[in-house]
Each structure stands twice: as structure tokens, then as C-alpha cells.
Chains A and B, each alone.
Chain A
Amino acid sequence: MSMVETTPGAWEPKIVAFCCHWCTYTGADLAGLNRMNYPANVRVLRIPCSGRMNPQYALDALNKGCDGVLVCGCHPGDCHYSTGNYFARRRMLVFKRLLEYQGLEPERFQVRWISGAEAGKFRDTVTEVVEQVRALGPLHLNHELVLSGMEVE
């Protein structure tokens, strides 16, 4: 949350995107098939359904050095498992508000519904999130971790 001085260009935001297998992951594949371009800062982590998204994963990611978290799933009504994203929607609405309340910038935790056909939306979302987080600068939540200062080549 706190900004740290960095030399321009040295730092690149690191963002993890939790994507449901059936829609968003497919949409991301389609973006590839269409040879779309988007920033390489996002790493997709595949989960079966946005209903599988445990807020604890996001907390872990933010704690351990991700600068932003994106959670994506099927549009409500289109869940492969019928209802998973409805539960996810409620949980994420509450969780996102909680994170922002305790001080996280809203841009650092975002949720989007992206279908298997919405390759363009995937590209745009990723680009937008990366640029927003880039503008915010690095997130340093891991105060005093015993590992801090340990660099791995």
C-alpha cells in the first residue's frame, strides 16, 4: 500500500489473475488464438470455477508480493456449475469492500466476468488493471517478514 521510490522502468507490476476454467480461461486462450496483445504482467492461475476462489488466496498473494489480484469468472447465469459465480459474486462484493475499507487501493483487487468469447474484454481488462496498478506503484505489505532481504537470483 505504501509507495516506495523506484527507478522508472525497474519495477514492473506483478498481478495474479484467478480465472475460472470454463469461461475466462477460455477467453484468455481465445485472445491468444486471435494473437491479441496485452501486458505480460498478469499470470493466470486456473481454478475450476470462480466459486472456488478463496479470499485467502488473494490475501496471500497481496501479502507475499503481488501488486494486484484479479478474479475472473463466467457471467452470472452462465456458470458451468450453475451457481458458483453467484456465490462468488456475493463473497467478492463483501471481500473487496473489506479490503478497500482497511486501506487497499480499489484497483489492486478487481473482479470481472469474462466469458469464453470475450477475448477482447480479457485483453482490455488485463491492460487496464496493469496500467492502474502501475500508476499506483509497488505494494509492500510484507513488513518485517523474516525473509525480507533474501533475494533469490
Chain B
Amino acid sequence: MPKITVQHGCAKAQLALVPKVAKVIKITVETPDVKSFRLQMPNGEASFLGEPGQFGIMGIIGSGECVFVISAQGEDWIEFTVKRVGQVTEMLHALSEGDEVFVRGPYGNWWPYEDCRGRDMLFIAGGIGLPPVRSFLQYCLEHRADYGRIDLVYSGSTYDELVFKHQLFDEWKTVDNMGVHVSLYHEDSRWDGEVAYTAPYLEKLAIDPMGSNGEGRVAVICGGPSLYRTGTKELLKEGYAPENVLTTLEMRMKCGIGKCGRCNIGGKFICLDGPVFSLEEVAQMNRDE
């Protein structure tokens, strides 16, 4: 098995700073404050297709832009999953199907799905951290035979916060050799499952870091700062090798092409070199949080 190497600065320029107009062809309400937007280029133009983990920039025409991981894509469409947190996302949430938006990308690096072939996989996500993870998970499921056992540990603070419920509770339950473990941080009247924070839940699940074939399981983790902190600590404690733990880093991004300057962590620009890093790499960074 090869060592897992995350590629950096590998984005291929398709659209730099000038966006294309795309049409919103489908809006899925995921939770009260999360919606997914499926975009298609008008005039039958091919949409840009990203690698799993890459992101795009979607903007309101006449207003600002925001960075989103491409949470799903098809032949001629891409989808972004957007949580309402600020002014631009508020406007995005006000969009209707048929409206047009600006889109550019894809930017950033991607999950090292090639290097992971043959491994067992553990996906860990919290709240709105699932869309980036899902892009990788989805790839694994599409190439099911190439990967070993797959586990997903997903948690949210409320039932409402859980995204992609249909897949969580129906679709993925039927996948061969896959475990879906969902927990809530707090009791909820609509929830009779596990109530636990992610780290204790991981401890309880005790998913073997070596994997079934002993090659070392790959863990992919994405969530808020505290989930990241406690989750990675737990993984290391359980014996996961830092190079086998993958994550995405978040900074404020603007240009998406490594020029405008704001998203650097040390010498790395998250928009260009990242957002995917292994824990081994993160450990070597000088980080602002």
C-alpha cells in the first residue's frame, strides 16, 4: 500500500476570477437553515466538474460570493450545500429554482482517493461538515469494490442540524459493508438514537485503526473547531497514524486562486494548496484559529 499523499496546488485553472452564469435547477431543503443548490450552465454549456473535495465559488449576481465544497455533481450539474450564516448565504437561501447565479471554480485540491484504494475508511463529520466529507464518501460508494469497510460517524447538536437525512437513514443503510453511526449532542424529542459528543462516541464505537486488512484505516474528519480538536485528539489516542487522518481546513477565502492573500495558514494558501490536508501536515503548520 502506498503512503497516502495529499496533492497540493494541483487545481487546474478553468475559471479564474471571472465567473459564469449558471441556473439553479433544483433546490433541496436539507434542514431549516441548510439548502442544496443544483446548478447547470445555461445554453447547454458543460459545467465544470471537480474532483471530490474541490470547491467552487457561488455568488449572487450583484452581490457577494461565497466558497462552497462541491457536495455532489452529475454529468451536467454541480451541487453546493449552503448553511445560512451571513448576508450572502441569506440571499442564496432566498433563491428560487430558475434563478441565475454566478459560479466559478473548481478550486483547491482534492481528497487523495487514489492513494486510499484498498483501505478501510472512517468518515467523521459534524453538522454542516458532512457535505465535504460526502463528496469523498460518494466517490467510494461509486467505486465500492475499490475500498474496504466504510464507517460514517456523523453528529449534530440537534435533529434539525443533520443534513442528508434521506441518505443517512435510508440509502446508506442498505450499502454493503458500511456502518452509519449518527449521534446528537443533546436530547431531542424526535431522536431515539445515540446522544453523545463525537469524541466519546468514537471512543465507544472503537473502530479499529488498523482496518480489516491491517493496512491502516483512513479517517476523514470535518466539522467545527471543537469537533476537529477533540475528534483528532481521540483518533490519535486510538492509534490512527497522522498521515492517515485527512481533514479540510477553513479560512476566509475570496479569490479562490491563491492571490488575494487572506486565506494563508503559514505559507500555504488554503484555497490553492488546500483545503485538504493530512493531520501530519497540519501539525507542521503555524496556525491562526
Direct contact of A and B (CB under 8 A): no
Interface residues of chain A, those whose CB is within 8 Å of chain B, are none
